[in-house]
């Protein structure tokens, strides 16, 4: 497919995209320099497959991955592809199950936050969805509403039904593609960044609670193995995550009318930082087929396609 066709598709969906993202405007130059080659890479990959091309899309909280995957979806649909875009967040366990998990790990700061850590997702349902997509079967996609229960969130009763064979499946989430780590590898990585290490020690001074997260993380590897492409959005500075997450919550509260306070957000972000750092550590750089480096303004600075 020619780049001119991809660009024409973007031009056609710009207004739809602004409505879908509550007014976010993506400039043509940004699209041409970064997002067009990314989408073209996906189309090239899909052209060699009989089944759907499954993309695992990683980015920290608030970096803009949902906006970008929404763009990608709109452009691909305009080009007559069948696309399912979903978030690993929609496979969170119910609030009852997550509260029980917190009780199962008393004192563990990584499981006293409402959601997000490995172990808080319904992996069996997610795997079944990807398996059904590979086989071209009917999909029933769940929906998790984050604004419920003062920002703790819960599963909604209804599902979205998708019929027919899909060309692309895009699964996005902050923890998508994190590989399994042993304790020694994890602690070595954390020690290489003073900011991250200080947060980690403040949360887990005896260095015991993180091992529970690593144990759950091992269970996710079978999901990551389903991906045909692993894409990563990486902020230039890991210290921006907290402010990005505050921005994200404020946007949600403006739309939904309910969400977490800034104090709750600051407290909830810290447990993610040590595990998000694994994407930044140059010594153990996690494999990615495509990597977008993002500035503090959420705009891309570079694109690397391997």
Domain count within the chain = 1
Q: Report which DSSP code applies to 142.
A: -
Over residues 43-99, the pLDDT tens digits come to 999 999 889 999 999 999 889 999 999 999 999 999 999 999 999 999 999 999 999
Strands (E), 143-253: 144-145, 154-155, 160-162, 168-173, 229-235
pLDDT score, position 39: 98
Is residue 16 situated within a structural domain?
yes
pTM: 0.93
Of 237, 220, 233, nearest to 116 by C-alpha is 220
Is residue 161 helix, strand or coil? strand
Is residue 128 situated within a structural domain?
yes
The CA-CA-CA angle for residues 226, 228, 230, to 5°, reads 95
User: Contact, 23 vs 139, CB < 8 A?
Assistant: no
Q: Which domain holds residue 239?
A: 3-299
How far is 289 from 205, CA to CA, in rounded Å?
Answer: 35
Is residue 174 situated within a structural domain?
yes
pLDDT score, position 250: 67
Over residues 128-155, the pLDDT tens digits come to 999 999 999 999 999 999 888 877 899 9
Percentage of the chain exceeding pLDDT 90: 76
- Write down the residue that tokens 């086989």 correspond to: 135
Is residue 276 helix, strand or coil? helix
CATH number at residue 25: 3.40.50.300
Is residue 210 situated within a structural domain?
yes
**What are the helix (H) ranges across 21-154?**
28-30, 36-46, 65-78, 95-104, 123-134, 148-151
Is residue 304 situated within a structural domain?
no
Is residue 44 situated within a structural domain?
yes
Is residue 306 situated within a structural domain?
no
pLDDT score, position 245: 78
Is residue 157 situated within a structural domain?
yes
How far is 112 from 241, CA to CA, in rounded Å?
Answer: 19
């Amino acid at each position: 497919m020619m780049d001119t066709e991809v660009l024409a598709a973007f031009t056609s969906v710009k207004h739809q995209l602004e409505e879908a993202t509550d007014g976010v405007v993506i400039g043509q130059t940004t699209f041409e320099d970064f997002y067009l080659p990314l989408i073209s890479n996906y189309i090239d990959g899909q052209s060699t497959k009989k089944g759907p091309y499954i993309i695992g899309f990683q980015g920290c909280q608030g970096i803009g991955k949902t906006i970008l995957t929404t763009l990608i979806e709109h452009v691909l649909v305009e080009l007559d592809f069948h696309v399912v875009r979903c978030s690993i967040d929609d496979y969170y366990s119910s609030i009852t199950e997550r509260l029980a998990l917190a009780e199962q790990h008393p004192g563990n700061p990584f499981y006293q936050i409402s959601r997000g850590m490995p172990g808080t997702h319904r992996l069996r349902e997610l795997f079944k969805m990807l398996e059904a997509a590979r086989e071209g079967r009917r999909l029933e996609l769940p929906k998790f509403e984050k604004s419920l229960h003062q920002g703790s969130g819960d599963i909604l009763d209804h599902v979205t039904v998708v019929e027919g064979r899909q060309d692309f499946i895009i699964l996005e989430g902050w923890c998508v593609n994190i590989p399994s780590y042993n304790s020694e590898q994890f602690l070595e990585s954390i020690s290489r960044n003073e900011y991250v290490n200080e947060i980690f020690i403040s949360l887990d001074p005896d260095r015991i609670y993180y091992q529970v997260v690593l144990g759950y993380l091992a269970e996710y590897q079978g999901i990551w193995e389903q991906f045909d492409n692993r894409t990563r959005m990486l902020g230039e500075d890991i210290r921006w995550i907290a402010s990005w997450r505050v921005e994200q919550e404020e946007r949600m509260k403006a739309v939904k009318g309910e969400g977490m306070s800034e104090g709750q957000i600051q407290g909830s972000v810290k447990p993610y930082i040590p595990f998000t750092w694994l994407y930044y550590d140059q010594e153990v750089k996690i494999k990615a087929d495509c990597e977008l480096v993002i500035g503090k303004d959420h705009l891309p600075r570079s694109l690397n396609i391997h």
